[in-house]
């Protein structure tokens, strides 16, 4: 059976196993016997300390109001509240909303005074890039756009052949491009119906004469502009003054459209330029994008107007343009 040492180890293992088994069996039997013979009166046990504390109350979980969460709807601000209650929209009243809508069939009356419209450039997509060349009572033509003031009148709208103005106090009035201003010296006479063709023909003739009188001749352009190179020109001061006084000629030479990249205006593109026109003789080509004039950014209407205002006293001009995707500069010396 082996040596005596191995026997003693085997006996010890068996005895320890039996002892542990007997312990757990005795503990379980004792618990079962106590549960069956020594059952406590639970009702009597609960009447002591609980009665002293008063009636037992079961805590009730308060239901939270979720209407605030639905009303705020922080995850979708565009849709608005989700509580089903309609939101009263309060319309913001602005100065433009207070203006009475203009009836195209009944245009405003002519503005009083000697103010007159020379030319207009209208951008239907961006009103802030619509300009009008207006000669106020001072007699010097300047560029104006919507929101600016001329002779105490605010520019409300720039249209292709007229400009709507509003005095400081009073109803809107208009100045037109091809009709004389209403100075009150001559009363207006109603036009008879049979004479409409003659009136239209007379108006076209008057318009043609006005354009001929205001335009700068080719001889004046040739004598006033000297081409030193493709990107360098010399301009006579007298021609610059004549151009600034006759802005209709400058506006007729090109069609200006703001150019956007990634939703931001980066310059203005010029189309419809002929070689014999004013801009064509100054080295500007059809499709050029004008970025700056003497450092003034052309992407902003205010900056463009400021650059235009400084042309009269400038001795040197530098145009930064982009031609066929390549940036370049054109220099002008004014003598």
Within a domain: 31:
no
1-5, 41-45, 107-111: the lowest-pLDDT one: 41-45
**Token output for 219:** 């001889």
Count of structural domains, the chain:
2
Q: What CATH number should be reported for the domain holding residue 135?
A: 2.30.30.830
**Which string of DSSP letters, residue by residue, matches 143-189?**
EEETT-EETTEEEEEE-SSEEEEEESSS--EEEESSS--B-SSS---
- Asked if residue 264 and residue 232 are part of one domain, the reply reads yes
Alpha-carbon distance 238 to 159, whole Å? 31
Q: What CATH number should be reported for the domain holding residue 277?
A: 2.30.42.10
Within a domain: 5:
no
- Asked if residue 245 and residue 199 are part of one domain, the reply reads no
- Asked if residue 166 and residue 260 are part of one domain, the reply reads no
Within a domain: 19:
no
Alpha-carbon distance 152 to 136, whole Å? 10
pLDDT in tens, 275-287: 888 888 999 999 9
- Asked if residue 248 and residue 207 are part of one domain, the reply reads no
- Asked if residue 243 and residue 202 are part of one domain, the reply reads no
**Which string of DSSP letters, residue by residue, matches 265-310?**
EEEEEEE---TTSHHHHTT--TT-EEEEETTEETTSHHHHHHHHHT
Within a domain: 241:
yes
Alpha-carbon distance 326 to 156, whole Å? 38
- Asked if residue 284 and residue 198 are part of one domain, the reply reads no
pLDDT for position 185: 46
- Asked if residue 234 and residue 209 are part of one domain, the reply reads no
Query: b/e for 310-323, b at 16 or more Cβ within 10 A?
Result: eeeeeeebebbbbe
Query: How long, in residues, is the chain?
Result: 335
Alpha-carbon distance 205 to 207, whole Å? 5
pLDDT in tens, 165-179: 988 888 899 888 765
Alpha-carbon distance 284 to 270, whole Å? 9
Q: Is 173 in contact with 156 (CB distance < 8 Å)?
A: no
Highest mean pLDDT among 67-71, 180-184, 229-233: 229-233
pLDDT in tens, 9-49: 888 888 888 888 888 888 887 877 777 666 555 444 545 55
Print the domain residue range for 310. 217-334
- Asked if residue 244 and residue 157 are part of one domain, the reply reads no
- Asked if residue 210 and residue 102 are part of one domain, the reply reads yes
- Asked if residue 328 and residue 276 are part of one domain, the reply reads yes
Within a domain: 277:
yes
Look over the chain and give the mean of its residue pLDDT values, rounded to a whole number: 74
pTM score > 0.85 for this model? no
Within a domain: 282:
yes
Helix (H, G, I), strand (E, B) or coil at 121: strand
Within a domain: 288:
yes
- Asked if residue 210 and residue 304 are part of one domain, the reply reads no
Half-sphere exposure of 256 (CA within 13 A, CB side): 23
- Asked if residue 270 and residue 175 are part of one domain, the reply reads no
């Amino acid at each position: 059976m082996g040596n005596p040492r191995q026997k003693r180890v085997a006996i010890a293992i068996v005895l320890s196993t039996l002892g542990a088994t007997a312990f757990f069996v005795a503990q379980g039997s004792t618990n079962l016997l106590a549960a069956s013979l020594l059952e406590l009166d639970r009702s009597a046990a609960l009447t002591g300390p609980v009665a002293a504390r008063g009636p037992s109350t079961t805590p009730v979980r308060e239901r939270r109001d979720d209407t605030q969460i639905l009303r705020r709807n922080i995850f979708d601000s565009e849709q608005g509240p989700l509580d089903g209650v309609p939101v009263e929209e309060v319309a913001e009243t602005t100065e433009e909303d207070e203006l009475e809508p203009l009836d195209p069939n009944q245009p405003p009356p002519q503005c009083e005074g000697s103010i007159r419209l020379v030319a207009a450039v209208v951008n239907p997509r961006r009103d802030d890039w619509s300009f009008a060349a207006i000669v106020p009572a001072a007699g010097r033509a300047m560029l104006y756009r919507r929101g600016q003031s001329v002779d105490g009148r605010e520019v409300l709208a720039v249209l292709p052949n007229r400009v709507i103005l509003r005095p400081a106090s009073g109803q809107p009035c208009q100045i037109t491009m091809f009709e004389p201003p209403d100075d009150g010296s001559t009363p207006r006479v109603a036009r008879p119906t049979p004479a409409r063709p003659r009136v239209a023909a007379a108006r076209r003739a008057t318009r043609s004469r006005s354009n001929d009188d205001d335009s700068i001749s080719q001889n004046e352009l040739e004598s006033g502009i000297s081409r030193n190179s493709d990107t360098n020109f010399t301009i006579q001061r007298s021609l610059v003054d004549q151009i600034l006084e006759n802005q209709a000629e400058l506006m007729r030479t090109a069609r200006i459209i703001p150019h956007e990249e990634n939703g931001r205006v980066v310059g203005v593109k010029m189309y419809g330029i002929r070689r014999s026109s004013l801009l064509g003789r100054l080295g500007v080509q059809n499709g050029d994008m004008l970025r700056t004039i003497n450092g003034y950014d052309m992407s902003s209407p205010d900056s463009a107007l400021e650059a235009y205002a400084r042309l009269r006293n400038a001795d040197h001009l530098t145009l930064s343009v982009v031609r066929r995707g390549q940036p370049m500069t054109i220099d002008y010396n004014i003598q």
